[in-house]
Amino acid sequence: MADDKIQQAKLRFGIIGNDPQLERAVWRALKVAPIDVAVLVTGESGTGKEFFPQIIHAFSPRKHARYIAVNCGAIPEGTIDSELFGHEKGAFTGAVATRKGYFEEADGGTVFLDEVAELPLTTQARLLRVLESGEFMKVGSSQVQKTNIRIVAATNEDMARAVAQGRFREDLFYRLSAVRIKVPPLRERGNDISLLARKFASDFAGEYRTAPVSFSPEALMELTRYRWPGNVRELRNVITRLAVFAEGELVSGERMRAELPAEAASYTPVKAGAPGSDRYEREREMLFNLIFRMQEEIEGLRRRIEPSESSARALAPHGAREDAPPPSAAAMPTSLVKYRPIAPGIILPHPADDGVIPVTPAEEIPPARTLEDTERETIRRALARNQGRRKATAAELHISERTLYRKIKEYGLE
């Protein structure tokens, strides 16, 4: 495909960056657009996944019909079927009139199912039927209806894991992911980080008629070194803060460093005065999150290295992975190489990198057992820190409230 087609699509949708992985994702979207198959877009939160279903719709024969985006994680479980498939008058209390669902509204067009892993199992069954035969029934109706839609779904979850845990139907997973598009995390996009930072700075100045901030080479270096757990969304927030508080200035490396969260701590904003806000607690918390993230990354890596074995392991009961060897630096994703292992499976940020001094001695660190143990502990602590408030806890953990709710039940953390 001609390179200028990729450039045109980027221009049209306002996608900044020349990273080869990103361009490959755009290329795949353009390639698959005219072919009427389901597409699954994967990638971390904030990487720009939402551009892709739009590209696919706009370059498909369905472009003149409707495009409806649904955030599956944001709709309460009790109403999602009715939102997607519609309902009959009187189907439930409050159903005062017949209502069309998105799948009917979008007939002939495209439905984008964001955070698709959040769909309840009962909804998954209905969705599978739509994908297989185009058939569905309104809630409270026994009349089969037909619709002609294309589905593009997105997720930041490891779907193989969701399937292994019985949270997602395997048959639906394969149906949805006829073609997959992976959006790379920001930290892997090299020079794009500077491009995006300058773009966000100039956008802000244009919009609010302020003097633009600019960045020293050291400041740009800091941006490139940071891990960006929140990806492009987080970068824009950082630049917005600087645009406000350093208006018109040339941002130095030091100033930029101050603006970026200490890497590991960026997952756990601890409010001053809240329980566990003392330094020791904070460091332990950081560690838990780090271990949690790392185990996920290692799990992903392992799956890539030994695809057949890993599914068996993912299904094994707790503790079955105790014999797994500690990760060696060579086997780690490059994004983690700047951390040094201090104990098997436990890695702390290098103090020289970000000013975080890892004082917790290795003996005091509870051994990382299974991913579930670590996850349970991370959630328990986050809940305690937020006085049991689920909304705040979910926000802190970068998961949806529904996921949090499910995990609370799953782990008996009520």
Candidate list 32, 46, 60, 396; residue touching ligand ADP; CB under 6 A: 46
Q: How far is the CB of 98 from ligand ADP (least distance, A)?
A: 32
Rule CB under 6 A: choose which of 232, 242, 379, 408 binds ligand ADP. Answer: 232
Residues 93-112 that bind ligand ADP (CB under 6 A): none
- Counting Cβ atoms within 10 Å, is residue 224 exposed (0-12), middle (13-18) or buried (19+)? middle
Closest separation between CB of residue 42 and ligand ADP, Å?
9
For tokens 């901030």, name the residue. Answer: 213
Judged by CB under 6 A, the residue of 42, 43, 60, 396 near ligand ADP is 43
CB of 15 to ligand ADP, least distance (A): 5
Within 10 A of 187 (CB to CB), how many other CB atoms are there? 18
CB-nearer residue toward ligand ADP: 55 or 106: 55
Q: Please, what is the minimum distance in Å from the beta carbon of residue 356 to ligand ADP?
A: 26
- Sort strands 86-87 and 99-100 into parallel, antiparallel or unpaired: antiparallel
Measured from the CB of residue 87, what is the shortest distance to ligand ADP in angstroms? 28
CB closer to ligand ADP, 71 vs 311: 71
Helices (H) and strands (E) counted in the chain, each on its own, are 18, 13
Minimum CB separation from ligand ADP for residue 121, in Å?
Answer: 24
Token duo for residue 337: 């190489």
Tokens of 354: 């970000």
Q: Does residue 233 belong to the site contacting ligand ADP (CB under 6 A)?
A: yes
**Distance from C-alpha of 3 to C-alpha of 104, rounded to nearest angstrom:** 37
Cβ distance 84 to 131 under 8 Å? no
Contact 229, 396 (CB under 8 A): no
- Residue (184 or 358) nearer to ligand ADP, CB: 184
Q: How far is the CB of 18 from ligand ADP (least distance, A)?
A: 10
For ligand ADP, give the closer residue by CB, 47 or 124.
Answer: 47
Tokens 């008996």, residue located: 412
Q: Which of residues 180-209 bind ligand ADP (CB under 6 A)?
A: 196
Residue with tokens 């209806």: 145
Mask of contacts with ligand ADP, 265-284, x by CB under 6 A? --------------------
Residue 197 CA to residue 235 CA, distance in Å, equals: 7
Report the residue number, 196 or 290, with the smaller CB distance to ligand ADP: 196
Q: Would you say 283 and 358 are in contact if contact means Cβ atoms under 8 Å apart?
A: yes
For residues 139 to 178, the per-residue mask of contacts with ligand ADP, x marking binding by CB under 6 A and - elsewhere, is: ----------------------------------------
180 pairs with which residues across the strands?
40
Looking from the CA of 174 toward its CB, the CA atoms found within 13 Å total 3
CA distances from 358 to 71, 227, 264 (A): 39, 18, 11
- Rounded Cα gap, residues 124 and 102, in angstroms: 15
Min dist CB 90 to ligand ADP, Å, is: 37
The kind and range of the H/E element at 9 are helix 3-13
Q: Is the CB of residue 84 less than 8 Å from the CB of residue 70?
A: yes
Q: Which stretch binds ligand ADP (CB under 6 A): 41-49, 161-169, 218-226, 256-264?
A: 41-49
Residue 312 to residue 241: CA distance in whole angstroms: 46
Token pair in block for residue 399: 């998961």
Is 50 a binding residue for ligand ADP by CB under 6 A? The answer is: yes
Taking CB under 6 A as the binding criterion, the range among 42-50, 201-209, 304-312, 368-376 that sits at the site for ligand ADP is: 42-50
**Contact yes or no for 381/285 (Cβ under 8 A):** yes
Six-digit token string for 321 = 């992975």
Among the listed residues 7, 18, 21, 45, the single contact to ligand ADP using CB under 6 A: 45
Of 49 and 167, the one with the shorter C-beta distance to ligand ADP is 49
Does position 49 bind ligand ADP by CB under 6 A?
A: yes
We find the least distance from the C-beta atom of residue 196 to ligand ADP, in angstroms, to be: 6
With CB under 6 A as the rule, give the number of residues binding ligand ADP: 15
Q: Which of 6, 33, 47, 314 binds ligand ADP (CB under 6 A)?
A: 47
The interface with ligand ADP within residues 6-35 (CB under 6 A) comprises 14-17
Question: In this structure, what token pair is assigned to residue 66?
Answer: 């409707």
Interface residues toward ligand ADP, by CB under 6 A:
14-17, 43, 45-51, 196, 232-233
